[in-house]
Copies of this chain bind each other. A is one copy, B any other.
Amino acid sequence: WDEQIVFELSRPGRRGIGVPAPDAPLVELPAGVGRSTPPALPELSQNQVVRHYLRLSQETLGADLNIDVGQGTCTMKYSPKVNDTFVRDPRIAELHPLQPEDSVQGVLEIYWRLEQILKEISGMARVSLQPGAGSAAIYANLSMIRAYHAARGEAGQRDQVITTMFSHPSNAACAKVAGYEVITLLPDADGYPDLDALRAAVGPRTAALLITNPEDTGIFNPRIREFVELVHAAGGLACYDQANANGILGITRARDAGFDLCHFNLHKTFSTPHACGGPAAGACGVSEALVPFLPGPLVDREGESYTLNSPTGSVGKIRPFLGVTPNVVRAYAWVMALGAEGLREVAETAVLNNNYLMHKVLRIPGASVPWADKRRVEQVRYSWQELAEETGVHSEEIGIRAADFGVHYWTSHHPYVVPEPFTLEPTESYSREDLDEYAAILAQVAAEARENPEFVRNAPYNQTVHRIDATSLDDPAQWSPTWRAYCRKHRQ
C-alpha cells in the first residue's frame, strides 16, 4: 500500500463516530480555561479509518505472520488465540480495578493462581504481578533492594549495583534511576561474566548483583552460584533477570541458585503477545526476606475467597492498580494448557531448536559465533564479522535485506561487544522446516552480499518504502517527531 499519513486523508466535516449529546445544559468555560481553537485532528469517515489502519496493519510483520526467530532475546513465541478470547470477554475487559473485592473474585483467583505457578517455577516465596513489563520489573526489584537495605540501615552505604554487559541495558539503566552507581562486568575469555572482575567489584558498597543467565549470548554461566555467594558474602542481594527463562523452565530455578529476587517477562516466556512493544507484563519473585517490600497489593487466599493486601514495607505501586491484567490472564491460560510436563517440553524443544538453528547458521560462510566451544541454551548471538570483512556489508544491512524475504532479525543492544552481531532465538514455536527456511534465507543474503554488496546495501526492494536516510532524525533542525513538527520544518 502507498498509504498517506492520516492527516492527508482528512477532509472537513467528516467524522468516524457519533458521540452522545449532553442531554443537559452545557457548561460554559471561562476564557483561558476553555479551548479556543479546535485541535487540528484529522476528519475521516469510519470506513476510511478502518481501511487506513488495516492497511497499516498489513504493513507490519507480526509474529503471527512470519518465522519470527530473529528477534533474539525477545522470545517470540506463539500467543494462543484462545487466550485472547478471555481478555476480550467483558468480565475482564469491562472490569474496573477498584471494584469491590467480592465482585472480582474470578480475576483475583487468576492472579493468585498465576502467582502460585510462578512461585513453583522460580522457587521464590512470593511473586508480584504488578510491573508493566520486564524493565519495570527490574526497576521494581531495584526499589525492593533499596528498601531492603534501607530497612537494615545500609541505604547510604550500599550505593553500587553490579551487572553484566550481556544483561539487558535496563539492568544498568534502572539501577541508575534507582540511585545506584553501576558497575558492568565484561565477558571473560570464555564468554562468561568475569568472576575476577566481580571479586574486585564486590564489597560493602554492593547493594546487589543484577545478572541474566543464560545471558544474551545464549551461554549459561555454570558458576552462577559462586557469583551469588560472593555477593551474599559481601552483604549484597542477588537479582536474577529471567528474561531468558524459556529454555530452563522446570530445569533450574532462581531460588535454588540462591537468588533473592528475580523477574520474568510474561510477554516472552509466558506467551503474552508483544503488542508492537507493550502492554507487556513483568513478574517479580522474591525470597522470604524481601516479601515485606513487594509492590502492593498482593492477592491472598482465605478459604474460598481472595482478598487484596499490601505487604507491610511495600515499595508502593510500580504501576497503577494491580497489574496488566489481560496479560496475567493470558499467561495463566498458557500454563494451564501445558502443565509441568508441557513447560519442560517447551524448554527442551526451544533449546533443541536453538541448537539446530545454530548448526544450520554456522554452515553459512561468513557467519560465526563467539565462544564457539560453549554450549548454548535458548538463543545465540552470532556474528557476521567475517562476512563484513570480506564484503563490507554490515549486519544491519543484511537484516534489512532479509526483510525482503518476509523475515527479520535483531542485531543486539549497544555496545556491540560481539562485532556485526545478530541474535536468533527460535523458541519452541517454530518447526524444523521453519528453521531450515530461515537459515536458507540468511544463506541467500550472505551469498548476495558476496556477489553484489551494493545490491544488499541498497535493500530493501519489496517493502513499503525504500532505504531510509536517517540523518535528519538526529538533526534538531530537521527532526520531526510529530506531523505538526514535520509540516513546520519541511512544508513551509
B-contacting residues of A (Cβ < 8 Å)? 1, 9, 11, 14, 45-48, 50-51, 54-55, 58, 64-66, 78, 80-81, 406, 429-433
Give the distance in Å from the alpha carbon of A270 to the alpha carbon of B80 in the complex: 34
Is the Cβ of B431 less than 8 Å from the Cβ of A78? no
Q: A54-B65, A58-B65 are in contact. Are A48 and B431 (CB under 8 A)?
A: yes
Give the distance in Å from the alpha carbon of A1 to the alpha carbon of B65 in the complex: 10
Give the distance in Å from the alpha carbon of A218 to the alpha carbon of B1 in the complex: 31
Is the Cβ of B64 less than 8 Å from the Cβ of A54? yes
Contact of A11 (CB < 8 Å), options: B1, B9, B66, B431: B431
Is the Cβ of B64 less than 8 Å from the Cβ of A78? no
Shortest distance between the CB of A265 and any CB in chain B (Å):
19
Is the Cβ of A51 less than 8 Å from the Cβ of B80? no
Is the Cβ of A45 less than 8 Å from the Cβ of B431? yes
Q: How many copies does the complex hold?
A: 2
- Chain B residues near A431: list those with CB within 8 A: 11, 14, 45, 48
Contact of A50 (CB < 8 Å), options: B9, B81, B432: B81
Shortest distance between the CB of A17 and any CB in chain B (Å):
9
Give the distance in Å from the alpha carbon of A376 to the alpha carbon of B203 in the complex: 88
Shortest distance between the CB of A79 and any CB in chain B (Å):
9
- Chain B residues near A9: list those with CB within 8 A: 433
- Chain B residues near A432: list those with CB within 8 A: 11
Q: Find the B residue at minimum CB distance from A47.
A: B78
- Chain B residues near A80: list those with CB within 8 A: 46
- Chain B residues near A55: list those with CB within 8 A: 65
Q: A58-B58, A65-B54, A65-B55 are in contact. Are A78 and B406 (CB under 8 A)?
A: no
Is the Cβ of A65 less than 8 Å from the Cβ of B51? yes
- Chain B residues near A78: list those with CB within 8 A: 45-47, 50
Is the Cβ of B11 less than 8 Å from the Cβ of A433? yes
Q: Find the B residue at minimum CB distance from A17.
A: B82
Is the Cβ of B11 less than 8 Å from the Cβ of A429? no
Shortest distance between the CB of A197 and any CB in chain B (Å):
41
Give the distance in Å from the alpha carbon of A9 to the alpha carbon of B11 in the complex: 47
Using A47-B429, A54-B64 as known contacts, list a sample of 8 further A-B pairs with CB atoms less than 8 Å apart, ordered by residue number in A: A11-B431, A11-B433, A45-B78, A47-B78, A48-B431, A50-B78, A50-B81, A54-B65
Contact of A64 (CB < 8 Å), options: B51, B81, B433: B51
Q: Closest 9 CB pairs between A and B?
A: A47-B78, A47-B429, A54-B64, A58-B58, A50-B64, A54-B65, A51-B64, A51-B65, A55-B65
- Chain B residues near A47: list those with CB within 8 A: 78, 429-430
Return 23 A-B CB contacts under 8 Å, by A number: A1-B406, A9-B433, A11-B431, A11-B432, A11-B433, A14-B431, A45-B78, A45-B429, A46-B78, A46-B81, A47-B429, A47-B430, A48-B431, A50-B64, A50-B78, A51-B64, A51-B65, A51-B66, A54-B64, A54-B65, A55-B65, A58-B58, A58-B65
